[in-house]
Amino acid sequence: MDADAYPQEVLADEEPKYLRRQKPLEIKRRKFGKKAWKTYLRVTFWSVIALAAVATSYALGHYMLASPEMALIHSDQVQVAGNQYVPRSRVLEMFTADRNRSVLRIPLDERRRQLETIPWVEQATVRRALPNRIEVEVVERTPIAFLREGSNLALVDVHGVILDRPLKANFHFPVITGIAADMPIEDRELRMQMFAGFTQQVEAARAGAMEQVSEVDLTEAKDLRATISGLQVVNTSAGASSNDAWGNADAPIVVHFGDSDFQGKYLTVRNDIGQWRAAAGRVESVDLRFNGEAVVNPDRTILALKNDPPLITVAPKAAAPHPVAPTQPAVHPAAPAKSATPRKAATPSKAAAPAKATKVVKATKSAPAKTAAAKTASAKTNSAQHNASKSSARHVSSQQQQ
C-alpha cells in the first residue's frame, strides 16, 4: 500500500508504535540433524571394525605363538639333510632350548651359527616349514689327510680344521704331521693350502702318485717334506740295478720339496733316483730346495762307523755318477799284481758308501767351478799314477840288478 494515501498526522502518531526496533527472537535448532547422524554412524562403524581387527589379530597371534599346533614338540619335526658324518643327535642338541616353543619364535640365525660351530659342518641352512616343522641342511667339510698328534689320529681339511674321525668311514689319505690344535687357524690353513697344492701338482705329474706318499711333514711353513716309497728306477744302470737288488727300490725316501714347483721336483725325483742310488748307494733323503741342485742324504744321522767327515761329491748331471771311477784300472798300469794294493782300489767305494752324503748339481751355471774341481781331481790322480810308475820302475830295476 502506498504511504502517500494516508494523512501525515496519522503517520506521525503511529510511527513510534510501528517503526521502533523489535527485540530479536532466539531460534533453537536441533542437535541431531541428518548430517550429524551420518557422521556418527560412520565413526561407529569404523570403530567396530577396528575393534574386530584388534581382537582377530590378538587371537591369531596367540594361536601362532602359543598354540600347541605351532609348537616344536617332537624331534621328528626337525628334518636334517646333507649329513653323512655329523650325527643327527648332534644337530638336535642345538634345538633343545626350542622344545615346546612355537617355530615362529625360534631364532634361525642363532641356530645356524651354532650348527656351524660343529667341526664337521662347513655351512648350515635353517628354515621354517609351517605349521610346526624346522628344516636343516648342512654342507660337511671334506678331509684331505690324516693328522697325527702323538698317538691320536684325526682328519684335517684344506682350511686346517681338525675333524674327529668317524667310526664308520673308510678314508685313504697320507698322514700329516707338524700341525697341532693349539696352532693358530691361519697358520694351519697356510700349511694345508700348501699341501693341497702339492697334492694337485703331484697328481698332475703322474696319476696315482699320491698313493706312494705315506707321510708329509708340515712343521716348517716353507719346506714340505714328503716320505715317498716304491720309486722305481726309470733309467737303469749297472750301479742302480745292483742297489735295487739289495732292496733299495722300495725303500722310503724323505724329499724336501720346499714350497713351490712341486710337479717339476717330483719329476726330478722319478727321473734321477737311479743315478742317485748309483752314486750314494742307499738314498734316504733328498733336498730339492736349491734351484737346479739335489742334495742326497742330508738328513742322515749316522754317517759311518768311522770318524771321518762325510764326503760330498759334486758331479754334472750328464757326467758319470762316479767322477773318480774311470781311474780305477789306471792306478798301477805297469806294476805287478802284488804292487796293486786293495786300499787304492777301494778309494772310489768310499764315495759310494751308504753313509756318505752326495750333492748332485743339475744346473749348468756352475760349470767353471766344476771343471776346476775336476781338473784338480785329475791332477791328483795323474800325480798318484806318476808316483806309482816310478815305484814300479824302481822295483823292476832292483830285480834286474839282483
Q: Tell me: the pLDDT tens digits for 186-239?
A: 999 999 999 999 999 999 999 999 999 999 999 999 999 999 998 865 544 444
- The gap from C-alpha 15 to its chain's centroid, in whole angstroms, comes to 121
For position 212, what pLDDT does the model report? 93
pLDDT score of 337 more than 50: no
Bigger pLDDT: 47 or 328? 47
Q: What amino acid is encoded at 201 in this protein?
A: Q
Please give the torsion angle defined by the CA atoms of residues 51, 52, 56 and 57, in that order, rounded to the nearest 10 degrees: -40
Q: With pLDDT > 90 as the criterion, what percentage of the chain qualifies?
A: 44
Residue pair 120/159 in contact by the 8 Å Cβ criterion:
no
Q: Which CATH number goes with the domain that contains 88?
A: 3.10.20.310
Q: What are phi and psi of 203, to 5 degrees?
A: -65, -30
Residue 57 confidence (pLDDT): 86
SS3 state at 93: helix
Q: pLDDT at position 185, please?
A: 94
- Worst-scoring range by mean pLDDT, 41-45, 153-157, 370-374? 370-374
Asked whether residue 191 is assigned to any structural domain, the reply reads no
Average model confidence (pLDDT) across the chain: 74
Residue 285 β-bridge partners: 254
| Residue 103 maps to a domain | yes
Nearest residue to 219 (alpha-carbon basis) of 199, 200, 195, 201:
195
Instruction: Compute the distance between CA of residue 270 and CA of residue 249 in angstroms, rounded to an integer.
Output: 12
What is the C-alpha to C-alpha distance for residues 40 and 297, in angstroms, rounded to an integer? 105
The pLDDT of residue 248 is 55
Position 170 pLDDT exceeds 60: yes
95 within some domain: yes
Would residue 294 count as lying in a domain? no
Tell me how many domains the chain contains: 1
Burial label, 354 (beta-carbon count in 10 A; 0-12, 13-18, 19+):
middle
Cβ neighbours for 332, distance < 8 A, ≥ 6 positions apart: 339, 340, 344, 385, 388, 392
**CB distance 256 to 289 below 8 Å:** yes
246-280 tens-digit pLDDT:
445 568 899 999 999 999 999 999 999 988 888 88
363 or 47: which leads in pLDDT: 47
Q: For residues 29 and 315, which has the higher predicted lDDT (pLDDT)?
A: 29
C-alpha separations of 215 from 1, 69, 266, 271, 328 in Å: 137, 57, 15, 21, 41
Confirm whether 216 is domain-assigned. no
Query: The domain containing residue 108 runs over which residues?
Result: 69-140
Name 155's Cβ contacts closer than 8 Å, sequence gap at least 6. Answer: 143, 145, 146, 147, 162, 163, 164, 165, 171, 173
Instruction: Report yes or no on 386 lying in a domain.
Output: no
Contact between residue 144 and residue 157 where contact means Cβ atoms under 8 Å apart: yes
The predicted structure's pLDDT at residue 20: 55
Residue 106 lies in a domain: yes
Given pLDDT bands bounded at 50, 70 and 90, which one contains residue 42?
Answer: confident
Residue 45 to residue 39: CA distance in whole angstroms: 10
Encode burial over 10-27: b for 16+ CB neighbours within 10 A, e otherwise: eeeeeeeeeeeeeeeeee
Q: How many CB atoms lie within 10 A of CB 287?
A: 21
Residue 44 falls within a domain, yes or no? Answer: no
Residue 79 CB neighbour total at 10 angstroms: 12
Mean pLDDT of 380-389: 46
DSSP string, 137-160: EEEE--EEEEEEETTEEEEEETT-
DSSP label of 311: P
What's the CA gap between 296 and 282, in Å, rounded? Answer: 10
Of 282 and 121, which is predicted with more confidence? 121
Cell triple for 391: 815305484
* Higher pLDDT among residues 381 and 265, named by residue: 265
Report the range out of 31-40, 211-220, 358-367 with the highest average pLDDT: 211-220
Which of 51-55, 79-83, 112-116, 333-337 comes out lowest in average pLDDT? 333-337
DSSP string, 186-249: HHHHHHHHHHHHHHHHHHHHSTTGGGGEEEEEEEETTEEEEEE--PPPSS--HHHHHHHHTT-T
Pick the closest to residue 255 from 215, 205, 219 (CA basis).
215
Say which range, 45-49, 175-179, 212-216, has the weakest mean pLDDT. 45-49
**Each residue's pLDDT tens digit, 276-297:** 888 888 889 999 998 878 898 8
Number of H helices, E strands in the chain: 10, 16
